[in-house]
Structure 1
């Protein structure tokens, strides 16, 4: 019997329930995956906390990696032909915190052999978000940009993808995480009082775009002070300020965001397989301990991605 985590209603960890369930057999256009690793993202808990009661109960987890255990008739996955036993990753799905899951084949990609299951299961939510942030702010070679929260999961992916574009990144982080920013090619700067002037000192020529991964008033205020063109400021965490101040907010549920993020998944998988897009993993938890892992994810900076393993 398979097991999975569901949220029974909107709320906090108290609504998370670990239950037995019957995995549906895959139909045409579907595959079943024996999960080896499930990714964790702040969105997992946030979407439950503020969800619509009509959408519950609902599965938890948007990305997984594992081994194909069944294939629907006449089915290929996003990366091509598939057979039982193939190692794959999947995003964007619902209900990935599970021992086994049946998902649409269009959201499944062959896992590069060089990529561990834990890394593969945490690649695409953060990676596609980072890619869209760079896309909407039109970052290109030679640009100097500011990234707020550069040592977090999305920020680390931004650093690596910006480097591929030939852009220079100044990234905010606590002093304890400055080596992380440097390690991925960025120039670290401490947040807090005086941030605007510290960035100006590091970029006398100015910054042309600001990418906000944290949503604090400081991040928004400094971005507005430093970037003249508000179409080149983007946030994933301060939608209210974006509406009020006339800059861009993106989210995976927005149609344009969903379409763009789906379009870049294959590139991100390829780059990760080549070793040019790294997913730092901080800790691995048993699937049954998902509540404990979520507390760590939401309560502090874990220092990398978290993995759930059946």
Structure 2
């Protein structure tokens, strides 16, 4: 038997329960992983809370989770290029909060030796979103990029990948995260009522990547973006729609490309707290209501 974390109704993280399951054999085009580490992302508690029930209703019981790293234990028919014992990174799948995961082989990529297990589990979803934001904006060394929520997992990945493209990067964050942003190479700016004024003093901004969403970041982007500038958001809402700021599009190779950037040392995810799998509710509560100092992980 194997453990999983499931929920049978929408609600707070308290609806999660640990239970046994018997993992099935992988079918055609699938592999089964022994999970080594699982990434916790804001989309997890939003799924549990039912934020997407109108457009992406989860069948109950449902298992949250969109990011993990593990070892292949079994390979199904018609799978090429993957073998039992391979260390891999799995993304964009759902259902990751479990000890063993059966997944479409097309959704896993090999884990390079240069990428730790913790980093591997942290890359899908958040860091991948950062890669896609930069790609959507077509960032070059001629750009000054504004990143809203630059100290979070999505924002920090966006910062690092844009800097790797040669761009000048300005990041909004709370004062306690300004030294962190400086360590990455970004120019930190305090969010709040004076945000637009502070940004104007830093010169023309040609592109904006919003990793948090909401009225404040949208208003600031509209106030400071140069004519013809580009903007994209990772969290589309009524404010971004009113401003014609598109939701990020995800290239098919986003995970592979993000892992390659991390493997050559240009991208590192700040790791926060690690919880045992059975404490997934506590991890989601921290993700929802706390201010985690880095990516939250679950250890099966």
Length-normalised TM-score, structure 1: 0.91
Q: Distance in 2 between matches of 1:230 and 1:308?
A: 43
Q: In the alignment, is the contact (CA less than 8 A) between 1:119 and 1:279 conserved in 2?
A: yes
Paired residue secondary structure (2:92): coil
Question: How do residues 264-279 of structure 1 correspond to structure 2 at under 5 angstroms?
Answer: 264-279=254-269
Post-superposition offset of 1:196:
1.1
Post-superposition offset of 1:216:
3.1
Q: Deviations over 1:99-139 (max 9, x none)?
A: 11111100111111122212101102112211222222232
Q: In the alignment, is the contact (CA less than 8 A) between 2:5 and 2:16 conserved in 1?
A: yes
Instruction: Name which of 65, 69, 76 aligns with 1:65.
Output: 69
Q: Distance in 1 between matches of 2:58 and 2:289?
A: 28
Q: Distance in 1 between matches of 2:255 and 2:70?
A: 17
- Correspondence for 1:74: 78
Post-superposition offset of 1:243:
1.7
Q: Distance in 2 between matches of 1:97 and 1:51?
A: 19
Q: Distance in 1 between matches of 2:28 and 2:211?
A: 38
Paired residue secondary structure (1:192): coil
- Comparing 224-233 with 206-215, greater Cα deviation is found at 224-233
Q: In the alignment, is the contact (CA less than 8 A) between 2:45 and 2:287 conserved in 1?
A: no
Q: Distance in 2 between matches of 1:194 and 1:54?
A: 41
Q: In the alignment, is the contact (CA less than 8 A) between 1:146 and 1:207 conserved in 2?
A: yes
Post-superposition offset of 1:229:
4.4
Paired residue secondary structure (1:88): strand
Q: Which runs of 5+ in 2 are unaligned?
A: none
Q: Runs of 4 or more off by more than 6 Å in structure 1? A: none
- Correspondence for 1:107: 107
Q: How many residues are paired up?
A: 296
Q: In the alignment, is the contact (CA less than 8 A) between 2:13 and 2:48 conserved in 1?
A: no
Q: In the alignment, is the contact (CA less than 8 A) between 1:32 and 1:103 conserved in 2?
A: yes
Post-superposition offset of 1:230:
7.0
Q: Distance in 1 between matches of 2:74 and 2:236?
A: 42
- Correspondence for 1:26: 26
Q: Distance in 1 between matches of 2:23 and 2:261?
A: 32
Q: Distance in 1 between matches of 2:189 and 2:18?
A: 42
Q: Does 1:295 align with 2:285?
A: yes
Q: Deviations over 1:152-187 (max 9, x none)?
A: 001110011101111111101111100111111100
Q: In the alignment, is the contact (CA less than 8 A) between 1:172 and 1:188 conserved in 2?
A: yes
Q: Distance in 2 between matches of 1:54 and 1:127?
A: 24
Q: Distance in 1 between matches of 2:263 and 2:137?
A: 26
